[in-house]
Amino acid sequence: MKNIDSKGHVTGKSIYLDDIPTLSGTLFGVVFDSPKAHGHINSVDYSKALTLPGVVRILTHEDVTGENQIGGIIPDEPLFATDEVHFQGQPIALIVAKSEHIASKARKLIEIDITEKEIIVDPRIAQAKGELIFPPRTFKMGDSQDAWKDCKYIFEGKADVNGQEHLYIETQGAYAQPMENGNIRISSSTQGPTAVQRAAAKVLNLGMNKIEIDVVRLGGGFGGKEDQATPWAIMAGLAVQILQKPVKVVLSRMDDMRMTGKRHPYAADYKIGFSEDHKILAYEATFFQNAGAAADLSPAVMERTLFHATNSYFVPNVEVTAYSCKTNLPPNTAFRGFGGPQGMFVIEIALRHAAKEMKVSTFSLQKKNLLKDGDEFPYGQIAGGVELEKIWSAVETKFSLEEQEARVAKFNKEHSDKKKGLSLMPITFGISFTKTPMNQARALVHIYSDGSVGISTGAVEMGQGVNTKMLQIAAQMFSIDPQKVKLESTNTTRVSNTSPTAASATADLNGKALQNACQALVMRLKKSAANHFKCGAGQVEFKDEAIYILGKDSHMTWNQLVDMAFLERVCLTENGHYATPIINFDKDKEKGHPFAYHVYGLALTEVTVDCIRGTYEFDSVKLVHDFGQSMNMSVDLGQIEGGLVQGMGWMTMEEISYDDNGRLRSNSLSTYKVPDIYSVPKELIVEPHDTVGTEMAILKSKAVGEPPLMYGIGAYFAIENAVAAFNPNYKLIQNAPFTHEKVLTGLYS
Ligand code: MTE
Ligand code: HPA
Ligand code: MOS
């Protein structure tokens, strides 16, 4: 089945936040933000801005009717700055005017006086000064301290990895309108409608029931709208509460890039030890997470770094520690992979470092240490259904790995100005929110009396195709034409207390809740049919909109059965709930079984480096991916392709740059380069791994949203491999992204 949004998207008819028709009298908000990264606000003079015709009001922390606080995990983030600012781009006020243009003009008339304080942008410096967002955490298995004496080889080093701008096509925004009795309705471009509702209720001093959040779809989120859609929605809501007029706040691209957090940059130290036969015996790492100026989702992101610190390898003795370091940057946040990629990058760095020193091939080192069934993860979960070795062989045979290696070696021998490089990047990604209580979802299903169906779930469509999957599930459960099923917007009044659309688990959680709701309705309808045909409910079947009794067509249609049941006063609405079984995690012991299952895969990347210019092109990425039993291969392939290229961009060209004053230099699309059609590998092959899948995944179709991003890490190592082929004295750079400048440095130093 095609993605149900394809046609609307390519014809421009799909509705995004800013396409919602504006009500007459709508006002527009523009955010006034801090021009300094750290300091004390001595005064702000709004008088000139307020006299500009068309400016209606400027809202500050003094106008907040409830708590001036939006921190979701830790209450450390004001909606509007009070007397201190902690990052450039921190919101101080909302200018509300008759047009966005007027509000933007007014912004330039505001005068602010700030006494600057010391600015920290480097996480290692923050850690050394004790500037932590919350206490560090350590995951430990075995005894690495004791294991070093058994190691024949030990290597230590540092690895740094940059942040990443989400660059969703649709910027952050919200449109709020007053309803009767002080109620407020907010359309928000958010991955977490309940998160917005909860925070808005707190700031506006209202019950959550007074605030309705509605989401049609997002023009991309990628984690950037899991937590950070909230402030703009609340600002719009606050303006509505005070002015009783509809208010829209949509960030311009540059405001969005400046004010919002990104993927967390990390610095890390590692130490890895091997036995004589190259088995990893011990691994220690210290991660310095650059959290920015407030917690946001950093605690959860940091946790996932620790969960994925050993990637796809079994290590018997592990000790990994992470610090969440407070810096004067916008609070960094969720981004596809959620801290996992940063953890995986470091052990991959350590393995290349070791392979180089031990003079063995990286491939054989990786292969030798792959995780197997029954191995324990450092967090206590026992690995089951591990597909890594099978996937590794599949890559070797399906893509003729040895031949490709020989071809690359031959090319490198014959060319002095161009070199090719190869890498293999395995992935193991845990599926479930790492915070166990978040692994629940609900769905509301209406069967209308004409046989058509309406579905609401907690899932937010953001391009990943979750609505198509929900529609498929309902159509399959009722055995009706998908045309009969409509996906409603995600709305807190229909489905409450939702987890954000995140952690790649949305289709699993909401899909299983939907199955539960549909199943209850199917049982009720079968009972009606059984009464009518005087048989047992177990003898009734639905097939292609017809009712079968004991395998024979009864000549009653789905529509007729629904109509009959309605007249019999059968309830045709159902609410389904699902909570992932088995999973648990004990934070005191840092042990448990946090994930419903893992997704596995392996990517083979080939690059050609131009050794005169330092540029590179990706010849191919060929990968074998564990979809389980994909319920929609075209949607899932889209996720693999998009995730891979997004990961490659992070590792190669996307370079976020702040100056020492905490000012974002890469603040527009002319200074921040993301992959385009020319950066996509010339050949991209995605082979589904042959496997039965797991019952924990919806219809055995494994989560696919985040895992493929981590294939992109292979791009870094393919480049490194090519550089090393040119320069035998090449010194490891260990600092992503591998930009053209760094390639040149590597080639000629
Ligand atoms: N794909 C598109 N097109 N747009 C997005 O914003 N977000 C990613 C991924 N794929 C995203 C996407 C992220 S960060 C996550 S967690 C998952 O989709 C969330 O959706 P899922 O749980 O349905 O996979
Ligand atoms: N992924 C995404 N979002 C989250 C997670 C997670 O594992 N845990 C809490 N929020
Ligand atoms: Mo995705 S980073 O869990 O929104």
Model pLDDT for residues 286-341, shown as the tens digit of each residue:
999 999 999 999 999 999 999 999 999 999 999 999 999 999 999 999 999 999 99
Per the listing, tokens 């015996």 go with 281
Q: Is the CB of residue 164 less than 8 Å from the CB of residue 656?
A: yes
pLDDT bucket at 240, cuts 50 / 70 / 90 = very high
Per the listing, tokens 């955010």 go with 31
Ligand 1 centroid from CA 102, angstroms: 35
Residue that is last in its domain, among 561, 579, 597: 579
| Ligand 1 pocket residue status of 501, Cβ below 6 Å | yes
* Torsion from C-alpha of 725, 731, 733, 738, nearest 10 degrees: -20
Q: Is the CB of residue 585 less than 8 Å from the CB of residue 593?
A: yes
- From the CA of 221, give the closest atom in ligand 1: 6
- Judgement on whether residues 412 and 481 belong to the same structural domain of the protein: no
pLDDT at position 205, please?
Answer: 98
pLDDT at position 580, please?
Answer: 98
Which of 574, 606, 655, 706 is an active site residue? Answer: 706
Question: What's the average model confidence in pLDDT over 99-109?
Answer: 98
pLDDT digits (tens, 9 = 90+) for 357-406: 999 999 999 999 999 999 999 999 999 999 999 999 999 999 999 999 99
Q: Please state, for a pLDDT cut of 90, what percent of the chain lies above it.
A: 100
- Judgement on whether residues 419 and 450 belong to the same structural domain of the protein: no
Is 130 part of any domain? no
pLDDT digits (tens, 9 = 90+) for 481-540: 999 999 999 999 999 999 999 999 999 999 999 999 999 999 999 999 999 999 999 999
Question: What's the average model confidence in pLDDT over 135-144?
Answer: 98
The question of whether 706 is a catalytic residue gets the answer: yes
| Ligand 1 pocket residue status of 429, Cβ below 6 Å | no
Per the listing, tokens 């648990």 go with 584
pLDDT bucket at 148, cuts 50 / 70 / 90 = very high
Report the alpha-carbon distance of residue 678 to residue 596 in Å, rounded: 38
- Determine which helix (DSSP H) or strand (DSSP E) holds 323, and give its type and residue range: strand 317-326
| Ligand 1 pocket residue status of 502, Cβ below 6 Å | yes
- Determine which helix (DSSP H) or strand (DSSP E) holds 466, and give its type and residue range: helix 466-478
pLDDT at position 222, please?
Answer: 98
pLDDT bucket at 622, cuts 50 / 70 / 90 = very high
**Rg value, the chain, Cα:** 27
| Ligand 3 pocket residue status of 168, Cβ below 6 Å | no
Q: How many domains does the chain have?
A: 3
Ligand 2 centroid from CA 594, angstroms: 12
- Judgement on whether residues 602 and 505 belong to the same structural domain of the protein: no
The Cα-based distances of 593 to 370, 505, 574, 729 in angstroms read 20, 16, 31, 45
Per the listing, tokens 């939006």 go with 70
- From the CA of 432, give the closest atom in ligand 2: 7
| Ligand 3 pocket residue status of 191, Cβ below 6 Å | yes
Report the alpha-carbon distance of residue 311 to residue 315 in Å, rounded: 10
- From the CA of 338, give the closest atom in ligand 1: 14
**pLDDT greater than 90 at residue 660:** no
Please tell me the number of the ligand nearest to residue 438's CA.
2
- Judgement on whether residues 598 and 554 belong to the same structural domain of the protein: no
In this structure, what CATH number is given to the domain that contains residue 70? 3.90.1170.50
| Ligand 1 pocket residue status of 518, Cβ below 6 Å | no
**pLDDT greater than 90 at residue 109:** yes
- Judgement on whether residues 308 and 427 belong to the same structural domain of the protein: yes
- Judgement on whether residues 738 and 721 belong to the same structural domain of the protein: yes
- Judgement on whether residues 425 and 472 belong to the same structural domain of the protein: no
Q: Which residues touch 221 (CB under 8 Å, ≥6 apart)?
A: 166, 168, 189, 190, 191, 460, 462, 463, 501
**Coil, strand or helix at 506:** helix
Ligand 3 centroid from CA 191, angstroms: 9
Give residue ranges with CB within 6 A of ligand 2: 226, 300, 304, 334, 338, 433-435, 438, 502-503
Question: What's the average model confidence in pLDDT over 605-629?
Answer: 98
Q: Which tokens in the block code for residue 648?
A: 């490659």
Report the alpha-carbon distance of residue 736 to residue 100 in Å, rounded: 38
Question: What's the average model confidence in pLDDT over 182-198?
Answer: 98
- From the CA of 706, give the closest atom in ligand 3: 1
Q: Is the CB of residue 609 less than 8 Å from the CB of residue 743?
A: yes
Ligand 3 centroid from CA 262, angstroms: 12
Report the alpha-carbon distance of residue 427 to residue 310 in Å, rounded: 10
Give me the domain span that covers residue 559: 440-579
| Ligand 1 pocket residue status of 631, Cβ below 6 Å | no
Is 307 part of any domain? yes
The partner residues of 606 in beta bridges, in order of sequence, read: 422, 620
pLDDT at position 496, please?
Answer: 98
Beta strands in 13-170 (DSSP E): 27-33, 39-45, 55-59, 84-85, 91-97, 111-116, 137-141, 153-161
Report the alpha-carbon distance of residue 165 to residue 258 in Å, rounded: 10
Nearest CA to ligand 3 atom 4: 223
- Judgement on whether residues 328 and 403 belong to the same structural domain of the protein: yes
Question: What's the average model confidence in pLDDT over 37-66?
Answer: 98
Is 483 part of any domain? yes
Is 644 part of any domain? yes
- Is the link from the previous residue into 737 a cis peptide, with omega within 30 of 0? yes
Report the alpha-carbon distance of residue 367 to residue 175 in Å, rounded: 52
In this structure, what CATH number is given to the domain that contains residue 510? 3.30.365.10
Nearest CA to ligand 2 atom 7: 433
Residue that is last in its domain, among 250, 275, 301: 250
Is 326 part of any domain? yes
Ligand 1 centroid from CA 6, angstroms: 16
**Coil, strand or helix at 465:** coil
Report the alpha-carbon distance of residue 268 to residue 411 in Å, rounded: 35
Ligand 3 centroid from CA 438, angstroms: 13
Ligand 2 centroid from CA 508, angstroms: 14
Is 404 part of any domain? yes
Is 470 part of any domain? yes
Is 83 part of any domain? yes
Per the listing, tokens 């702040």 go with 658
Q: How many CB atoms lie within 10 A of CB 570?
A: 15
- Judgement on whether residues 444 and 430 belong to the same structural domain of the protein: no
Residue that is last in its domain, among 187, 222, 250: 250
pLDDT bucket at 199, cuts 50 / 70 / 90 = very high
On average, the pLDDT of the chain sits at: 98
What are the phi and psi torsion angles at 535 (to 5°)? -140, -175
- Judgement on whether residues 281 and 313 belong to the same structural domain of the protein: yes
- Judgement on whether residues 698 and 712 belong to the same structural domain of the protein: yes
- Judgement on whether residues 591 and 657 belong to the same structural domain of the protein: yes
**pLDDT greater than 90 at residue 438:** yes
pLDDT at position 160, please?
Answer: 98
